[in-house]
């Protein structure tokens, strides 16, 4: 499904996309996802192994996941090779997809939102409630939109 290799030491933990996610979070929220003193590869490694969820998708009309840290992969029950390249709409149940689309439109206009809650679904069909998620636009060094990302550490199985 996806040609992007899974982050590891050999590819510097995919530092370029990870740093875009990290820098964009800082740009919009003024907060840090990881220690700002880390070099790019170390920051990318810490992000990939973080105990909270980090997901990102591209800016396509039907966005595809481009990044999912290990916590996200475990929660959504999809390894890297399955979750990256997957339409991100599949993270929500069909009835919740309209609400998800409204959220993403709001983020596109405002740059980010905090304290989002919503129901998501795993590959195996298990439902969970996401609480206090931050969703933000991912931008490159020139400010061009690359996609959107989300992070949360609080969820409850339904």
The answer to whether position 81 is within a domain reads: yes
The answer to whether position 84 is within a domain reads: yes
Q: What is the pLDDT of residues 4-19, one digit of tens each?
A: 899 999 999 999 999 9
CATH number reported for the structural domain that contains residue 141 in this entry:
3.30.450.20
The answer to whether position 3 is within a domain reads: no
Is residue 1 predicted with pLDDT exceeding 80? no
The answer to whether position 102 is within a domain reads: yes
Query: Please, which residues bridge with residue 152 across strands?
Result: 53
Number of domains in the chain: 1
pTM of the model: 0.93
The first and second tokens of residue 94, run together, are: 């069909």
Nearest to 23 by CA among 105, 154, 146: 146
The answer to whether position 4 is within a domain reads: no
The answer to whether position 1 is within a domain reads: no
Note down the domain range covering 62. Answer: 9-157
Q: What is the pLDDT of residues 142-156, one digit of tens each?
A: 999 999 999 999 999
The answer to whether position 110 is within a domain reads: yes
- Span 47-74, mean pLDDT? 97
State the number of CA atoms in the 13 A half-sphere of 148 facing the CB.
26
The radius of gyration computed from the CA coordinates of the chain, to the nearest angstrom, equals: 14
Separation CA 118–CA 128 (nearest Å) = 8
The answer to whether position 74 is within a domain reads: yes
pLDDT at 63: 95
Q: What is the pLDDT of residues 62-114, one digit of tens each?
A: 999 999 999 999 999 999 999 999 999 999 887 677 887 788 888 988 999 99
Supply the DSSP symbol for 86. S
């Amino acid at each position: 499904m996806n040609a992007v290799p899974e982050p590891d030491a050999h590819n510097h933990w995919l530092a370029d996309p990870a740093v875009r996610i990290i820098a964009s979070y800082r740009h919009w929220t003024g907060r840090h996802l990881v220690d700002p003193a880390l070099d790019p590869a170390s920051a990318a490694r810490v992000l990939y192994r973080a105990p909270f969820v980090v997901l990102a998708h591209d800016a396509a009309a039907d966005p595809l996941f481009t990044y999912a840290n290990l916590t996200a992969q475990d929660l959504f029950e999809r390894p890297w090779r399955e979750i990256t390249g997957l339409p991100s709409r599949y993270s929500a149940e069909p009835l919740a997809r309209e609400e998800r689309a409204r959220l993403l439109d709001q983020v596109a206009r405002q740059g980010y939102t905090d304290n989002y809650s919503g129901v998501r679904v795993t590959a195996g069909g298990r439902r969970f409630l996401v609480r206090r998620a931050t969703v933000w636009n991912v931008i490159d060094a020139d400010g061009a939109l690359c996609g959107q990302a989300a992070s949360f550490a609080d969820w409850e199985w339904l």
